[in-house]
Amino acid sequence: MWILDTAYRDGVDLWCRDRNGSVTRKHVAYDPPFYLHLPDPAAHHEMLDVLEAEFGAAPCTFRTLFSELEGFSVHGSRQLAEQVEQQTRFDARLFNVDVRRDQQFMAEQGIFPCGDDYGSRFTPDLSFDLRQVEIRIPDDPARTPLCTEAEVTGDRTERLHGPGDTVVADLFGLVESIDPDVILMSHADAWLPQFRAFAHKNGLEMPFSRNGKYRQMSSRSYWSYGRMEHKEAALIPDGRVLIDTDQSFVYREGGLFGVLMASRLSGLSPNLAARFTPGTLISSYEVYEAVKRGIVVPFRKADAETVRKLTDLRAADRGGMMFQPEPGIFENVDEIDFTSMYPSIIVKYNLSPETLDNLGCEGFLPAVLAPVVSLRKETKRRKHNEARYAGIDTLLKWMLVTCFGYTGYKNAKFGRIEVHEAITARSREILIQTKDLAESMGFTVLHGIVDCLWVQGSPVEELQQRIGEVTGLWAECEHFDWIVFLPLNDGFGAYNRYYGRLFDGSMKVRGIAARRHDTPDYIRTMQQEMFEIMQEERTAAGLATVRDRVRGIYVTALQELPHADPRSLAISRRISRTRYTHRCLEGAAVQAYRDCGVEVAPGMKISYVIRDARRYQVDPEWSAETFDIPYYRSLMEKAWNDIAYAFGGGGRQPEWVVQRELVAPDPASSPARVPQG
């Protein structure tokens, strides 16, 4: 039974696809209880009498992560559970209240989406033959009520163009005739509400759902890993997978293979897996595994951080280890990278909330993470030879990265801050141990950061083998023909800003303009063209032979800047607020969006062009006609100096860094206007 989609409506709906490609809905009656534990049941006998009479409350024993508890099973909603909390003044401990019921059903039955049998759940081979259609719509849904262009690609490509009502009606007809299992659509979550309003007004049936029903997700803004994020509202169709190719992080990073693997592991519909963050996916995976193992899932976290002395807290809560590099260019450097280091530490050292005080028991987190860590190692090995595994590997990387942070999250179902601290403590020990081992074998350690070490020396294969033997963790090795560690403003080496040529001729870039998400395309392209020339040279000395060609790219880009398309200079930022107490460019951009009738919310990504930086004048990307030449020239100079450093050597300022006065076009301080016609 290959499950394409799931939902819960007075029971579980499983949309199953057979070998002939037919998709049918299977409905299963299902009303699971939540569980209630009271320290003193006698004190709440009246409430228990009501729960027994009206909601079938019955005494039972259930298993938590830490122990078995005596309590009651209650067939009721989340609202009822919250009323019980209030009635008991939050003395009640509740479990399985907010577990998704279709996910819970599948976990109890040992089934999951996007797979044929349980043995296939942790294999990297995804077998499917889904009918796919991709819909590309160039119009902006925030500014256009209906799209006037669309390109629909299935077995063949259809291009639609004309009035909005005609294009949308034709699009409906194409989707209905193709009858796809998977729809990949640009800005799908923004377009569908507008399509539904159009369909309702004109008496049409919107064809994206197989039964005409849609689940609704509300928009919300939230903090995640120190930054504000925003999730758009969405209409989720039944019986089909609809992926917003612009908004889905999982699809953007892992493609369709990544989405289906995320669904398979988490026990969530692919529609939800495509819209959730890696953190939500790994927590959903843990919930699925807990239910499958007969462990109830707490509604509110009850294992608060223990009281500790300040000296103990300072010793424990220190984060990851880093070694500051010497800035400069270095040849024949190997990067030793521990694959999924933190989750591997969890597995190796049996770190879990319930094992902190009972080291002899098998931990829940190590047991459920071990197969995912093994799967990541396999996909990382295979992706070098078969590109189809790259998306799955990237998805697993993000899920495993966030599983560490989730252990320290205050509301984590299966987290505890002491576990978080124990993981980082082990990682510090391992990195120091690895550094000492490398130096004892004659290697020079250039840099280290949390789970990576850069070394010079040979034979690196022996070092890699010894690291595995000593630490018990799997480490991979990447060889750089040359690598540049960039300086900070104070002259010391930056921890996370470097670039270099790998042995296969490709470039690895971190922390500079070409890698940053907010870099304008014009500047990113400039740096990328420079790297294309630099990667031709296998040695640091060879770079000197191409420096004039690289410099020429910068000079040409400066000279052509006044004639650049303003959209190529758009800066994309994720805003953390919508109200600003001080004048700033980001605040001006938010106001510019409002002036165009586009509502913004914290966590949304906006794209804007600086018209006059000194006066805080900006335009949304779509309406920009002019831009501030001096402002963008300064951004180009910063991007250029990161490249020029490779030719200056060591910590010296390159003597041939181009001075803007020598090459900049004359109309210097006046904004550029795009030539018309």
Give the whole-angstrom CA distance, residue 344 versus residue 451. Answer: 11
Quote the CA–CA distance of 273 and 251 in Å, as a whole number: 9
Low-confidence ranges of the chain (pLDDT < 50): 649-677
Q: Using CA atoms, how far apart are residues 152 and 137, in angstroms rounded to an integer?
A: 9
Token pair of 244 as six digits: 């917003």
Amino acid identity, position 228: M
Strands 132-136 and 182-185: parallel
**In whole angstroms, what is the distance from residue 508 CA to residue 23 CA?**
44
| DSSP-derived secondary structure letter, 671 | P
**Of 233, 241, 178, 234, nearest to 209 (Cα)?**
241
Cα torsion through 267, 270, 274, 277, rounded to 10 = -10
Provide the 10 A C-beta neighbour count for residue 416.
Answer: 24
CA distances from 464 to 117, 382, 652 (A): 37, 19, 34
Neighbour count for residue 392 (Cβ, 10 Å): 28
The model's pLDDT over 99-142, given as tens digits with 9 standing for 90+, comes to 999 999 999 999 999 987 766 899 998 878 899 999 999 998 98
Residue 103 and residue 504: Cα distance in Å, rounded?
A: 44
The rounded distance, in Å, linking the Cα atoms of 398 and 244 is 19
CB 253 within 8 A of CB 389: no
pLDDT recorded at residue 135? 97
Q: Is the dihedral of CA 264, 266, 270, 274 positive or negative?
A: negative
In the structure, how many helices (H) and strands (E) does the chain have? Answer: 20, 28
Does 459 sit behind a cis peptide bond, omega within 30 degrees of 0 on the bond before it?
yes
Cα–Cα distance between 486 and 325 in angstroms, integer? 9
Token pair in block for residue 37: 């534990």
Angle, helix 188-202 to helix 164-178, in steps of 10 degrees? 100
End-to-end CA distance of the chain: 60
Q: Rounded to 10 degrees, what is the CA torsion of 479, 482, 483, 487?
A: 160
Is the alpha carbon torsion for 504, 509, 510, 516 positive or negative?
negative
Phi, psi angle pair for 33, to nearest 5°: -85, 165
Radius of gyration of the chain (CA): 28
Query: Between the CA atoms of 244, 262, 381 and 346, what dihedral angle is there, to the nearest 10 degrees?
Result: 130
Which pair of tokens denotes residue 481?
A: 């023909």
Encoding tokens for residue 270?
């692919």
pLDDT of res. 219: 81
DSSP symbol at 295: B
* Paired tokens of 121: 């759940």
CA distance 48 to 71: 11
Nearest to 3, CA basis, from 267, 255, 184: 267
What pLDDT, on a 0 to 100 scale, did the predictor assign at position 665? 39
What tokens does 340 get? 């999924």
pTM of the model: 0.89
Helix ranges restricted to H, 293-363: 310-316, 341-348
pLDDT (0 to 100) of residue 304: 64
**Is-contact 392 258, C-beta < 8 A?**
yes
Give the contacts of 186 (CB within 8 A, at least 6 positions apart): 135, 136, 137, 244, 245, 246
pLDDT of residue 677: 30
Please state whether 326 falls in left (phi above 0), alpha (psi between -120 and 50) or beta. Answer: beta
Rounded Cα–Cα distance for residues 585 and 604 (Å): 16
Is the distance from CB of 487 to CB of 501 less than 8 angstroms? no
Long-range pairs of 78-85 with CB within 8 A, sequence gap ≥ 24 = 80/55, 81/34, 81/36, 81/299, 84/36, 84/47, 84/51, 85/300
Confirm if 183 and 171 have CB atoms less than 8 A apart: no
Q: Which two tokens stand for residue 424?
A: 């980082």
Tokens representing 298 are: 């707490």
Compute the Cα dihedral for 190, 195, 201, 203 and give only its sign.
Answer: negative
How many beta carbons lie within 10 A of that of residue 518, not counting itself?
12
How much is the pLDDT for 226?
Answer: 62
Q: How far is the C-alpha of 283 from the C-alpha of 405, rounded, in Å?
A: 11
Q: Tell me the C-alpha distance between 14 and 29, whole Å.
A: 11
Burial of 383 (0-12, 13-18, 19+ CB in 10 A): middle
Beta-sheet strands, E only, within 315-416: 322-323, 328-338
Q: Domains in the chain, ordered, with CATH?
A: 2-21+111-292 (3.30.420), 34-95 (no CATH), 322-511 (3.90.1600.10)
